[in-house]
Amino acid sequence: MSAAASLRDTLRVPQGPVSIAGFDSGAKPFGGAAPDHDAHELAALQERLWAEATVGGSRRILVVLQGMDTAGKGGVVSHAIGLLGPIGVEYTAFKKPTQEELEHDFLWRIRRRVPGPGMIGVFDRSHYEDVLIVRVHDLVPEAEWEARYDAINAFEQELVDGGTTLLKVFLHVSYDVQRERLLRRLDQPDKHWKFDVADIDERGRWDDYQSAYDALLERCNTDAAPWYVVPADHKKYRNWAVAELLRETLVELDPRHPHPPLDVEALRARLAPPH
Amino acid sequence: MSAAASLRDTLRVPQGPVSIAGFDSGAKPFGGAAPDHDAHELAALQERLWAEATVGGSRRILVVLQGMDTAGKGGVVSHAIGLLGPIGVEYTAFKKPTQEELEHDFLWRIRRRVPGPGMIGVFDRSHYEDVLIVRVHDLVPEAEWEARYDAINAFEQELVDGGTTLLKVFLHVSYDVQRERLLRRLDQPDKHWKFDVADIDERGRWDDYQSAYDALLERCNTDAAPWYVVPADHKKYRNWAVAELLRETLVELDPRHPHPPLDVEALRARLAPPH
């Protein structure tokens, strides 16, 4: 049993300068091979969050998943988010922006998908791509992406003020494990459709991406919306850890069933069987 | 083992006049207590449907769930649709229309939520409410709702022509079982938030609703988009049956992994470890 109070305490990125190279992507902190999560527990917590919103509650959760290719965003969605069930979960994969999206501020498409009260929103990639691929490939002038860190912090503060708890997760996979996973895809013809040759080009810019991650993990690691680094070289641990971060978040929110005033006896009488 | 070829054959509503009262809501046809579904099988089928779409496939599925209060739409979504995992599933609960929605044609809000290629869309209530509650409560003139059956058939034919397979499921619960379930909600304070007093008013119009269902099950039961009646008095059977209808639909579509041309050896060489 770890002495740490929670997995969130353990995986939270410390304030200050960050070098992601200093984080062990193969670690299994906080108990390692923990028991599988009870889907019923998570579903019950989620239902209570949802129930709260039916009587005016404003709380909601936004899970932001980032990571290099093969880090396992899809696996986390299937195996951790998948524990929750479809009602109350809104999943969004942000791809290359469309022409319409590019004609708006970078947060425009993001704002359209933030979760409503009682919901758990899941972003598979997010506004952070606008200080990642955009920065690495100089898709906009430096002055423009440079201003985005503050814009992101202000946006996230706004969400928090409106009742959102953010769970920002960087899935940390090593250069070597990425190589193994890409090679494995090449070995399996049924996985070729997942293979994008551009992924290998991006891998060639590994260090640039790590620097871009270092910057955002430092500059957007606010108390209101902190970052967590989940070691992602081991798939089972990775999936468990994200589910556990979500469970801890729900437990801390401690949503309760509302108890609206009902005249139970009168209602029971109305349900008496017909003569 | 049933002699029927499939659960879809068994549960499909026959062409011609329909009286839902003639269907046994407590039945467990086609094997009854069948084994639980293998979530991996369903997830693998769904992934292939999704994969097809990445190379231009247009096929997709739209599950339409209808039923009286307590019939178990939510339970089906959790336990049958929940087998699929969040990626590739788009769930929409259609509630009382907003002012903006009412200012448009009744299909406007529906069209905005039809699934894209490779997706499985799930409608929890649907355009059929526009010939159910609307008809029972005379929310629009009869001439208007009367015209909607044909409009719905034309709309669904359009979806089918575009590559959608519709799975329209009526969850059939009896008047007595509804009563039991409503009473059970009253017995459990933590379920009171689910209790809408209006549900009892609607129950008072049971026969009107059954007639409205009879009409749509007859008039919108096209070969392109047939209706299935799932007996819903037994929750476990009900959930299993919807999962099985979905499995059969996916198996019949038989989606395949695309095999895009990849120069595997060249890619492997590019992934050689750095010196």
pLDDT of B7-22, one tens digit each? 999 999 999 999 999 9
Q: What is the pLDDT of residue B32?
A: 67
Q: What is the pLDDT of residue B272?
A: 83
Backbone CA torsion sign across B100, B102, B108, B111: positive
Tokens in use for A51? 């129930």
**Closest Cα to residue B247, out of B34, B28, B15, B20?**
B34
**Closest Cα to residue B209, out of B128, B109, B92, B152?**
B128
For the segment B124-151, the average pLDDT, to the nearest whole number, is 97
How far is it, in rounded angstroms, from Cα B201 to Cα B133? 12
Q: Say whether pLDDT at B91 is over 50.
A: yes
Tokens in use for B203? 């129950």
For the segment B58-74, the average pLDDT, to the nearest whole number, is 97
Residue among A179, A182, A262 whose CB faces B195 most closely: A262
Nearest C-alpha in B relative to A192:
B259
Among B181, B193, B201, the strongest candidate for a mutation testing the A interface, having the largest count of A CBs within 10 A, is: B193
With a pLDDT cut of 70, the percent of chain A lying above it is: 96
pLDDT in tens, A153-193: 999 999 999 999 999 999 999 999 999 999 999 999 999 99
Residue among A258, A259, A270 whose CB faces B200 most closely: A270
pLDDT in tens, B21-60: 999 999 998 776 577 888 889 999 999 999 999 999 999 9
Q: How many CA atoms lie within 13 A of B142 on its CB side?
A: 1
Tokens in use for A39? 């889907």
**Strand, coil or helix: A237:** helix
**A192 in contact with B, Cβ within 8 Å:** yes
Q: What is the C-alpha radius of gyration for chain A, rounded to an integer number of angstroms?
A: 21
Q: Do B91 and A87 touch (CB under 8 A)?
A: yes
How far is it, in rounded angstroms, from Cα A42 to Cα A120? 12
> Looking at chain A, how many residues does it have?
275
Give this complex's ipTM: 0.90
Our CA-based measurement puts residue B263 at a distance from the nearest CA of chain A, in whole angstroms, of: 9
**Closest Cα to residue A69, out of A214, A205, A242?**
A205
Nearest C-alpha in A relative to B77:
A86
Q: What is the C-alpha radius of gyration for chain B, rounded to an integer number of angstroms?
A: 21
- Count of other CB atoms within 10 angstroms of residue A56: 8
**Closest Cα to residue A96, out of A198, A238, A245, A26?**
A198
Tokens in use for B173? 């619960």
Q: Between B88 and B3, where is the model more confident?
A: B88
Q: Say whether pLDDT at B2 is over 60.
A: no
Tokens in use for A224? 């209101």
Q: What is the pLDDT of residue A2?
A: 46
Question: Cβ-count burial of A96 within 10 angstroms (0-12 exposed, 13-18 middle, 19+ buried)?
Answer: exposed
8 A C-beta contact, residue A139 and residue A133: yes
Tokens in use for A255? 């949503």
pLDDT in tens, B191-230: 999 898 888 999 999 999 999 999 999 999 999 999 999 9
How far is it, in rounded angstroms, from Cα B215 to Cα B131? 9
Tokens in use for B7? 């659960």
Residues of chain A with confidence (pLDDT) below 70 = 1-4, 32-33, 274-275
**What stretches of B24-78 adopt beta strand conformation (E)?**
60-67
With a pLDDT cut of 90, the percent of chain A lying above it is: 88
> Looking at chain B, how many residues does it have?
275
Q: What is the pLDDT of residue B85?
A: 83
Q: Do A200 and B271 touch (CB under 8 A)?
A: yes
**B96 in contact with A, Cβ within 8 Å:** no
Please list every residue in chain B whose beta carbon sits closer than 8 Å to the beta carbon of residue A194.
Answer: 51
Output the CA–CA distances (angstroms, integers) from residue B16 to A157, A165, B203, B222, in the order listed: 59, 53, 27, 10
Our CA-based measurement puts residue B95 at a distance from the nearest CA of chain A, in whole angstroms, of: 13
Element holding B34 (H helix, E strand): none
Q: Do B271 and A122 touch (CB under 8 A)?
A: no
Q: Do B186 and A262 touch (CB under 8 A)?
A: yes
Q: What is the pLDDT of residue B1?
A: 43
Residues within 8 A of A (CB atoms), B 11-70 only: 43, 51, 54-55
Contacts (Cβ under 8 Å, ≥6 apart) of B260: A192, A193, A195, B55
Tokens in use for B30? 């086609």
Backbone CA torsion sign across A39, A44, A47, A53: negative
With a pLDDT cut of 90, the percent of chain B lying above it is: 88
